[in-house]
Amino acid sequence: MKPQAIYYYIGLVLLTMGLTSCKKDNPVTPNQYVPGPGLTYGANALTTYNGNLIAGSYDTVFQWNGSKWSPLTGSSFGGSTISALQVYNGNLIAAAGNYVESWNGSSWQLIGAFSNGVAALAVYNGNLYAAGFFFSVGGNPDTGIAEWTGSSWIAVGPGLYGGVNALTVYSGNLIAAGGITRSGNTNINMIAQWNGSAWYTVGGFGSILYSVNALAIYNGNLIAGGRFTDIIGPGDTATSIAQWNGSAWASIGTSLFSGGFYNTYIPPIILNFTIYNNNLVAVGYFGLGNSASDLGIWNGSAWSTIAGLTYIRPPNDYSRPSPITFNCCTIYNGNLVISGGFNTAGSLSVSNIAMWNGSAWSAL
């Protein structure tokens, strides 16, 4: 489906209809057209490969070599947005829609055709894993997550039901998160871990709304972000972000979200994490009415932000909503890269992607 902005109707529509959980709960999937240098649609996934910055956008994977963007052509992703990127055995792996393909530096090879969408990729114990909302791959039954042997996809235990948005590795286990409800007969609430032989829940994560969209490892803890309210314990409620130290969940600070419709009635959305200069970076749509509030920097004791990324509507242009979203982030040559729906970075004109060097934004 060709991308289009989803306009926000604050009030009756949200309260009566709710918000349907989808891949990374993205309110703008993908971003609207912003002509100019950069990415026309923005990216839903970022990584690095062979020294280049890789951006997965609508229909195409692009690479930035330090001076220009170029598409990695020849894929079968037509009409789908790239949802995940991963480097595996020297190849770049990309997921879009129902397909997973491998780029060897010169051409794409289809390695997986799934029954439904693939949302996350990870490498665990040297093997590639794909997860999402599917029930089979290559005609073989397989629910929510599959392992690539190098020649075929196989089931990972009884699978995961409810949909998977994110994967990571923590304390020697594979972690999956999303709207997960169970694995076989084992009840799971949104976050599951695989120890190589069985799935089980991660410490009784107690979310009461929506789903987990992103995972990260920071200061030895597992970080979960998304759209949820988790009653962790007496006097401790985590809104859309929480940390697991191996034995208990806890909130992370108190000031990432403060006020606003989304904080009061519906939890804000975290879409992606990265680690920058020993800080945890969280991006998404926090619903506070200004772009700086949608980028959070946690230094281990307090939240801060980096201002400057905005969308300035051209005169008489009403083709997109005013709220912007930061979809994803990564590190490239020691710098922080953010992609989403914006056309201004500081005083610069950009197109849905920009890089922060610690003191100033630059266009890509």
Residue for token pair 């709220």 = 323
- With a pLDDT cut of 70, the percent of the chain lying above it is 77
Look at residues 273, 359, 332, 343 and name the one whose alpha carbon lies nearest to residue 309. Answer: 343
Among 16-30, 33-47, 52-66, 142-156, the range scoring the smallest mean pLDDT is 16-30
Biggest CA–CA distance in the chain, Å, is 58
With bands split at pLDDT 50, 70 and 90, how would you rate the model's confidence at 239?
Answer: confident
pLDDT at residue number 3: 36
Q: Which fold has domain 4-28+52-307?
A: Neuraminidase (2.120.10)
Band (100; pLDDT cuts 50, 70, 90): very high
Average pLDDT over residues 348-352: 90
As to burial, measured by CB atoms within 10 angstroms (0-12 exposed, 13-18 middle, 19+ buried), residue 146 is buried
Phi-psi group of 105: left, alpha or beta (phi > 0 → left; psi -120 to 50 → alpha; rest → beta): left
- Report DSSP state, residue 7: -
User: Which of the two residues, 344 and 87, has the higher pLDDT score?
Assistant: 87
Question: Between these two residues, 82 and 206, which has the higher pLDDT value?
Answer: 82
Average pLDDT, the chain: 83
Q: Which residues contact 239 (CB under 8 A, 6 or more apart)?
A: 228, 229, 230, 251, 257, 263, 267, 268
Q: How confident is the model at residue 87 (pLDDT cuts 50, 70, 90)?
A: very high
Closest CA to 82 of 42, 140, 126: 42
- Ordered by start, the domain boundaries in the chain are 4-28+52-307
CA atoms within 13 A on the CB side of 220: 3
* Burial category of 321 from C-beta neighbours within 10 Å (exposed 0-12, middle 13-18, buried 19 and up): middle
53-62, 71-80, 307-316, 317-326: which range is least confident on average?
A: 317-326
pLDDT in tens, 20-45: 233 454 433 444 444 456 888 889 99
- Quick one: pLDDT at residue 12? 27
What size, in residues, is the chain? Answer: 364
pLDDT more than 90, % of the chain:
56
* Burial per residue of 63-73, b for 16 or more beta-carbon CB atoms within 10 angstroms, e otherwise: bbeeeebeebe
Q: What is the mean pLDDT of residues 114-140?
A: 95
